[in-house]
Amino acid sequence: MFGLAFPWALLGLAALPALAALYWLRRRFRRVPVSSLMLWRHILRPREGGRRFEQVSAPLTFFLEALALLLLIAAAADPRRPRAEFRRPLIAVLDDSASMRARRPGGSPRERAERALENAARSPDIASVRLIVAGVEPRALEAVAPKAWRRGLTEWTCRAPEAALGRAIALAYEIGRGRARILVLTDRAPETPPESADLQWLAFGTPLPNAAIVTAARSAGERRDRVVVEFAAYGDAPMETRATIRRAGATPEIHVLRLDPAAPPRRMTFELPADAGDVEVALDDDALEEDNRAVLLPAPRAPIRVRLDLRPPLRDLVARAIIAGGRGALVETPDADMVIADTEVVGRDAADWMVRFDTAAAAASYTGPFVTRPNHPLLQGLSLEGAIWGARPLNDAAGEPLLFAGDLPLIAETPRAGGRRELRIAYDPSASDLHRTPNWPALFWNLLDWRADERPGPAEINGRAGGDALVRARTASGEIIVREPDGDIRRIRVRNGRALIPTANPGVYTIEDERGTYRFARNFFSPEESDLRAAFDGAWGGWTDAETRRVEYASSAALFGLAALGALALHSRLIGRTSNFTRS
Amino acid sequence: MNAEAREALRRGERAGARYRLAMPRDPATGRDGFRVGRLAGASLDFKDYRDYRPGDDLRHIDWHAYARSDRLVVKLFRQEVAPHADLVLDGSASMALDPVKAAAALEIAAALAAAAGNAHCTHRAWVADRALRPVGNGGEAPSRWQGIAFDFAGAPDAALRAGAGWRRGGLRVLVGDLLWPGDPLSILRRLSDGAAAVSVVQVLGAGDAEPPEPGHARLDDVETGESLELYLDAAVRARYADALAAHRRAWETACRQAQAAFAVIVATPPNTVSSPAESGFEPPSTVEQALPALAAARIVEAR
């Protein structure tokens, strides 16, 4: 990129119109009637043996004078070109949020930003180009030569519900190590204008009115599903739009919505049959496409199958707790999801999860203090104060303790291969009253919920796009195949029976593994992105301050000055030839 | 003809009243009149004797000589003639380059016609444009002339070379700006053919005698409509003056070869004086100032 040390010298360009005016006034031909052109033609007759007469070429002299003037002005402005040894890498931070695709006359912010990126990449002081796509998480792409700057643009989809610009800029600084020029291309103004001479912030947004779906959820009841959708408007005036609800086998429902930006989001609630399939809620087209559509998939209903190998009275206590929670179903088949036993179970490997009660006679009954492992899914919501827990404490071989009475472990966990788990619970019902408190059904609800969370498939069926979706695999390792909403296929590695699937794009994701498929939906719920009133158009910061220009840029004033002298010499020669002729 | 042209003719006629057309040394021919002719005639001036031939007037037989020599001889007397002047006016559009030039040409032609009358000459005015055509009432007083117009978009040299209609043995005067290419001698030979004397009066306008002011100029030829764009500096203007002087010298030389009188008149507006240093010509600007120049060139004589 070229720079001018003295941009005010460009005011000298005002001399060009003055020069043109002078020439125009000088070259205005007076019309003079003459009796005959005979004598004038005699003057212009070619000289014998000499070169032909060349009429004074005033336009050429004008162009030479104008050129000399331009070159002198350019020399006065002291243009500076980058020294080869000071070429720097360019790191472009690209806002990948959906608002970059907002429809506006003259092109979306992304299209305009791409043009700005092209200009920056073509600057002669750029050694390489590296793109950082700032979606929910910043992603740094490979550095390429300036000519190949387009290579990473396919990653810049602008569908993310947010843009982690701050982290992306921090990453750019880290990668650049103080040598790179950082270009931020977004549609929002910076919170504080950048002070660094290495960072330039360009915003290409335009405030636009927009209506959006900001929340949608679907919960499964016993017989019907319940759907809640919230709509919001962002603009200066109330706006009217239509919400269309579509599901397979049913006529689309159209609701006319009048949304007031000053009011809270408008909520729509409706119920669906339990066997209803996917539901799509869509708004009419407006400035932003992504926030006009939400897809809600049916939530899974299958209960956890539990087989009890317990003796009374513990069997009855556990069975009542499981049935009361509604998350499990008691089965006698060997392929249960969980086996709860107080004896050695034949064929225990058939179950993934084993809960073993140690009902040996209690050595003592404990009233506390009970110490739990923080945030463990089994113990969330339990309040053991005042409870009496009679048991013979577990020994060290029982596994990792989860609950202590003082320093005596009462519940321990042993992870097994393939995502299986084994829990040991020391509990003597005859010396305890825990099963008479609300903690008892809560403990088993937690247990079944934990188990349900560990079932293969996505942890969350309907969620917000952006971030990673947790998917539990059937196997502890290997790969799963993910078909993204736009049809792309990705292979995701499974670690410890889990896979994290990036969900930058809203839509339905399909997961395939060896034994079946799962689906989950991600929707664009981002009020900050939907609110296009905050979009901004402007530029902040620059890459070159005076000191940098002095050090890293070489002055071209002398070249321009020499060129001006050349033009003046040519001008002088031309004028001299004309004068010689007229004198002769 | 408009009122200005008519008035110019009257001015010329008045100015010419003080002059008469200069006669050549060789007598002219013409109808019987008041000038001594080249031929024998009926005047009282004895010229010669010759032998009687049948048909001679018996009243001219010199009976005394017959008595002395027994030979019939007749006395010859000089013929008294009224010479004729053909006044040819350039009818091209360049003569009307400016009103002063057009008026000057008309004034000079009228003055020459008046001077011809004072020299007991008959006269006939002609306009040379596409062809040579007589001026209406061209044999009468100039103030009665009709049909003179400087509107021919071309040079009159072709008409002058054709030259039909001039009376033999008469005087011929050409009045024009002579600003056309070609050999002057061919025109003068045609003018001199059968003429007792030929005079050429070059009438130039101020714009002819002096080039335009320095600077860019688009020169429009009033006759052909062609244009020429030039930057006029001092050198170019000097070269124009040189070219004009060379053109004048060519006509002077041709006139000398054809034994014709030649004069140049620069028509400048009244009360203005052209620059002799630049133009090389005397600055008469009206017919009163022009007639002395014509007299100096022996085209007219003061009475």
pLDDT at B195 over 90: no
Looking at the fold, whether A309 and A413 belong to one and the same domain comes out as yes
Task: Judge: B221–A34 Cβ closer than 8 Å, yes or no.
Answer: yes
Least confident of A150-159, B27-36, B248-257: B27-36
Looking at the fold, whether A131 and A194 belong to one and the same domain comes out as yes
Looking at the fold, whether A170 and A140 belong to one and the same domain comes out as yes
Residues of chain B with CATH 3.40.50: 3-26+83-302
% pLDDT > 90, chain B: 19
Q: Which candidate from A27, A40, A582 shows the least CB-CB separation from B235?
A: A582
Q: What is the ipTM of this complex?
A: 0.79
Contact by Cβ (8 Å): A509, A485:
yes
Per the structure, the count of domains in chain A is 5
Which string of DSSP letters, residue by residue, matches B136-201? BTTTS-GGG-B-----BSS-SHHHHHH-TTPPTTSEEEEEE---S-S-HHHHHHHHHTT-SEEEEE
Q: Which candidate from B221, B229, B239 shows the least CB-CB separation from A36?
A: B221
DSSP state for residue A467 in the 8-state scheme: S
Task: Judge: A35–B223 Cβ closer than 8 Å, yes or no.
Answer: yes
Asked if residue A369 has a cis previous peptide bond (ω within 30° of 0), the answer is yes
| pLDDT for the residue B271 | 45
Residue A447 falls inside a structural domain:
no
Task: Judge: A56–B218 Cβ closer than 8 Å, yes or no.
Answer: no
Report, in this order, helix, strand and coil percent for chain A, each rounded to 5. Answer: 30, 35, 35
| pLDDT for the residue A56 | 45
Looking at the fold, whether A542 and A515 belong to one and the same domain comes out as no
> Residue A145 sits in a domain of what CATH number?
3.40.50.410
Residue A46 falls inside a structural domain:
no
- Chain A residues in contact with B205 (beta carbon < 8 A): 35
> Residue A508 sits in a domain of what CATH number?
2.60.40
Instruction: Indicate the residue type of A137.
Output: E
| pLDDT for the residue B245 | 92
Residue A193 falls inside a structural domain:
yes
Structure tokens at A313: 């009275």
| pLDDT for the residue B283 | 44
Least Cα separation, residue B287 to chain A (angstroms): 21
Q: Which candidate from A30, A34, A39 shows the least CB-CB separation from B243?
A: A39
Residue A369 falls inside a structural domain:
yes
Q: Which candidate from B155, B218, B240 shows the least CB-CB separation from A29?
A: B218
| pLDDT for the residue A49 | 40
Looking at the fold, whether A235 and A126 belong to one and the same domain comes out as no
Q: Which candidate from A26, A34, A43 shows the least CB-CB separation from B220?
A: A34
Q: Which residues of A touch B (CB under 8 A)?
A: 26-44, 55-56, 58, 582-583
Task: Judge: B235–A58 Cβ closer than 8 Å, yes or no.
Answer: no
Residue to test with chain A: of B216, B220, B249, most A Cβ within 10 A: B216
Q: Which of A392, A408, A437 is the last residue of a domain?
A: A437
Taking the C-alpha atoms of residue A473 and residue B237, their distance in angstroms, rounded to an integer, is 103
Write down the residue that tokens 């030829």 correspond to.
B221
Taking the C-alpha atoms of residue B284 and residue B286, their distance in angstroms, rounded to an integer, is 6
Residue A41 falls inside a structural domain:
no
> Residue A354 sits in a domain of what CATH number?
3.40.50.880
Could you report the per-residue pLDDT of B146-189, keeping only the tens digit for each? 988 888 988 898 888 887 778 888 889 999 999 988 888 888 88
Task: Judge: B207–A41 Cβ closer than 8 Å, yes or no.
Answer: no
Looking at the fold, whether A392 and A351 belong to one and the same domain comes out as yes
| pLDDT for the residue A582 | 44
Q: Which of the following CATH numbers is that of domain B3-26+83-302: 2.30.110, 1.10.3470, 3.30.70, 3.40.50?
A: 3.40.50
Looking at the fold, whether A308 and A427 belong to one and the same domain comes out as yes
Residue to test with chain B: of A25, A29, A35, most B Cβ within 10 A: A35
Residue A325 falls inside a structural domain:
yes
- Mean pLDDT value across residues B106-121: 90
Could you report the per-residue pLDDT of B116-130, keeping only the tens digit for each? 888 888 899 999 988
Taking the C-alpha atoms of residue B13 and residue A174, their distance in angstroms, rounded to an integer, is 109
Looking at the fold, whether A88 and A150 belong to one and the same domain comes out as yes
* A58 → chain B, closest CA residue: B231
Helix (H, G, I), strand (E, B) or coil at B285: coil
Instruction: Identify the domain containing residue A217 by its residue range.
Output: 210-301+525-530
Looking at the fold, whether A282 and A271 belong to one and the same domain comes out as yes
Pairing state of beta strands B73-90 and B122-128?
parallel
Taking the C-alpha atoms of residue B225 and residue B198, their distance in angstroms, rounded to an integer, is 32
Residue A40 falls inside a structural domain:
no
Structure tokens at A489: 């296929």
| pLDDT for the residue B200 | 93
Nearest to B261 by CA among B201, B180, B194, B189: B201
| pLDDT for the residue A185 | 95
- Chain A residues in contact with B228 (beta carbon < 8 A): 37, 40-41, 44
Taking the C-alpha atoms of residue A97 and residue A108, their distance in angstroms, rounded to an integer, is 12
- Give the other-Cβ count within 10 Å of B127's Cβ: 28
Mean pLDDT by 10 residues, chain A (584 residues): 69 84 76 87 56 50 88 85 76 92 87 92 85 90 87 87 90 88 92 83 92 90 84 92 90 92 91 87 91 89 85 90 86 85 60 82 82 87 88 81 89 79 89 90 91 83 87 82 90 86 88 83 90 90 67 79 91 70 43
CA atoms within 13 A on the CB side of B163: 21
Beta strands in A118-180 (DSSP E): 126-134, 138-140
Looking at the fold, whether A238 and A181 belong to one and the same domain comes out as no
Helix (H, G, I), strand (E, B) or coil at A195: coil
- Chain A residues in contact with B202 (beta carbon < 8 A): none
Residue A176 falls inside a structural domain:
yes
